[in-house]
Structure 1
Amino acid sequence: MLQMKGKQMTFIELSNNQSRVAIDAKQAYSAYREAVRSARQYAGGMTWKSVNGSDYLIKVINRSGGTKSLGPRSPETEQIHAQFVDGKARAIERERSLKQAVAEFAGMSRVIGINRVPSMVTAVLRKLDAFGLLGKTLMVIGTQALYGYESAAGVHFDPGLMATNDVDFLWDARATLKLALFDDAVADAGVLAILRKLDKSFDPVRQQPFRAVNKDGFYVDLVRQTPNPPWRRHEPVRIAAGDLTPSWLQNIKWLLSSAKFDAIVIGQDGQPAPMVAPDPRAFAVYKHWLSEQPDREPEKRRR
């Protein structure tokens, strides 16, 4: 039992079998993520193209079909082509095999009850991770971060403290992000566009431009540290021009300045996802401070 100034937070340790499956599932997913990243270097393709009677090795280098010549046919370029074809085949097979392993562990996770995190939360985490926003640009704060901490500790916290139908992301406005590398939708609308790739029903909430909600009433909120001074102009207002506008929060710099905490969590559908949250010590200090603020909603203070 975790105690802090008269408050208690109950938890249950995982059984040996639950711990074993959790470890194996996380390792399989970590290997799968690495396989996906490795396979990206083979994106596009490589082919021979005849120009004025001579063959040239051509590589597709971007989503819009841009190409780059690697030179005329020669023993060197033939070796480059052969290595590319072989490497791509091996990368595809490794990704396929590990994806199957992740799916098998997902079933086991559901059976033994380590599937904790709402599936929409883990789906959002995976999608943000795929676009490179999770960690460097965004991290989870609020109640959902507890799933990351319990996963690392090998325990389950009291479900009553975890129940919520939203997820909050802290945006680090200091981070640089080249949205032009993504497709047009993400370049134009950032996080909102990514959410809509997951669920087309996500829309901004009127009068609350920092939040999006889907047809099932699931909310995604963006927050940021209040600029100091507030009228400072050199920081961007939002991630992309058509994106959500993060809400300003005081003293969130405590979380921005803390070390990032990485964990693998398991969704209610059994599928794992990466989670990046603040250092749990900084999180606890911030939450304690927040609970003592006079304008804090009473039902949220115990969280």
Structure 2
Amino acid sequence: MNAMKPFTDEQLRTLINLRQRYEGWIDAERRWAALPYDLRRKEVKGRAYLYEIFDRSGNGRSLGPWSDELEARFEAYRAAKEDIKTRREASRGPLDESARLAQALRIPMIASEAGPILREADRRGLLDGSLLVVGTNAIAAYALEANGFIRELPDETADFDLAWIESDTTRDEQVLWNMLKAVDPTFTVNTERTFQARNAKAYEVEVLVAPSRAGTMARTDRPRPVPLPEQEWLLNGKAVDQVLVCRDGSPVRIVAPDPRWFALQKIWMSEQAKRNPQKRGKDAKQGALLLDAIEIAMPHYPLDENFECGLPGELAPLYLRWAEQRPQRRAPGW
């Protein structure tokens, strides 16, 4: 049996529309998030001031006595806020329509619980250089990258793995923790596994990091990942960037590691004694099937001599073992 099943023309059209509409919506969401919560004109002891409001309780700070300059700032803020509000509302309907169609066409999906986390991370710009999706949820993104279904590939599990990949040192700011708490205030750090957060519904988010990136995370941020040397491999190559849907029909964006390095790391993990025995079989199958899919349907991720020469000693034998049984390369149309 062929390891791949190509998407239909209708599925491909839906994915193109989904991406375009998501990009319009997330741009409006980011612009909305960048605005102050509110600006208000206040009278204090008979004198007018412009206040920046921080929250629903009305907490804020004065920006100074009312003046022509502050009045112009106030009016510009109101106009911008109204414009962005209109764009947000206008973009949501078409996006939801494309997402529902993608769901109906059974295009590869991920667990619904991951959706709010990914959307909030994208709203905050964290998917553009700070975070990668490194667990099984990445598999759906790889299927979209291949423009087809990867047959028999094990599905996602009931947890969510993220890797911190920021290369620049962040301020002493709880970037991850603030993002998770914005999604669900019931998230708490697992005291026995401090790299893991868990919410009231027992949904788990694990954070991983390569030793070379561990120092860029703020000291007070949480969850606190344990640096793992094998995470360095996932920093190589070219990341996959795809928009897909959750099982509840909501849209999400996933940025995942180069599929070649992800696949080989999975095979490597399957042979480690420290790995949970219940996951090792799934790791081996995922890695091998993903390499097959790359060979068949992802020519832009070449499995060639140049790639082989760049592999470290731990991964080279695993790649060669797969290469001896590699599937015959298909034409671009399969």
- TM bucket (normalised to shorter chain) is 0.7 to 0.9
Counterpart for residue 68 of structure 1: 63
For residues 1-303 of structure 1, the aligned pairs below 5 Å read: 10-48=3-41, 58=50, 60=52, 65-69=60-64, 72-73=67-68, 79-114=72-107, 116-158=109-151, 160-172=153-165, 174-178=167-171, 180=173, 187=174, 191-192=176-177, 194-205=179-190, 207-214=192-199, 216-226=201-211, 235=215, 239=218, 241=220, 243-293=222-272, 296=275, 297=277, 298-299=280-281, 300-303=283-286
- Cα displacement (A) at 1:239: 4.6
Percent identical residues: 25
Tell me the C-alpha RMSD between the 2 structures: 3.4
- Cα displacement (A) at 1:35: 0.9
Distance 1:11 1:67 in 2: 61
Give the alignment's TM-score, normalised by structure 1.
Answer: 0.76
Gaps of 5+ in 2: 287-334
Q: SS at 2:21's partner residue?
A: helix
Gaps of 5+ in 1: 3-9, 181-186, 229-233
- Cα displacement (A) at 1:42: 3.4
- Cα displacement (A) at 1:118: 0.8
- Cα displacement (A) at 1:217: 4.6
Distance 2:44 2:186 in 1: 48
Residues 52 and 217 from structure 1, CA distance in 2 versus in 1: closer, same or farther, beyond 3 angstroms? closer
Q: SS at 1:208's partner residue?
A: coil
Q: SS at 2:230's partner residue?
A: coil
Residues 227 and 278 from structure 1, CA distance in 2 versus in 1: closer, same or farther, beyond 3 angstroms? closer
Counterpart for residue 292 of structure 2: none
Give the alignment's TM-score, normalised by structure 2.
Answer: 0.69
Distance 1:134 1:80 in 2: 31
Distance 1:30 1:201 in 2: 29
Q: SS at 2:247's partner residue?
A: coil
- Cα displacement (A) at 1:91: 1.0
- 1:207 alignment partner AA: E
CA contact (8 A) 2:188 2:198 kept: yes
Distance 1:37 1:208 in 2: 33
CA contact (8 A) 1:261 1:276 kept: yes
- Cα displacement (A) at 1:28: 0.8
Residues 288 and 42 from structure 1, CA distance in 2 versus in 1: closer, same or farther, beyond 3 angstroms? same
Distance 2:53 2:97 in 1: 35
- Cα displacement (A) at 1:270: 1.4
- 1:287 alignment partner AA: K
Q: Deviation per CA, 1:147-205: give whole Å up to 9, x if none.
A: 2222233222235422322221112364433464xxxxxx4xx5355435434554444
Residues 242 and 91 from structure 1, CA distance in 2 versus in 1: closer, same or farther, beyond 3 angstroms? closer
CA contact (8 A) 1:196 1:202 kept: yes
Distance 1:43 1:164 in 2: 38
Distance 2:4 2:29 in 1: 34
Residues 27 and 252 from structure 1, CA distance in 2 versus in 1: closer, same or farther, beyond 3 angstroms? same
- 1:68 alignment partner AA: L
- Cα displacement (A) at 1:274: 1.6
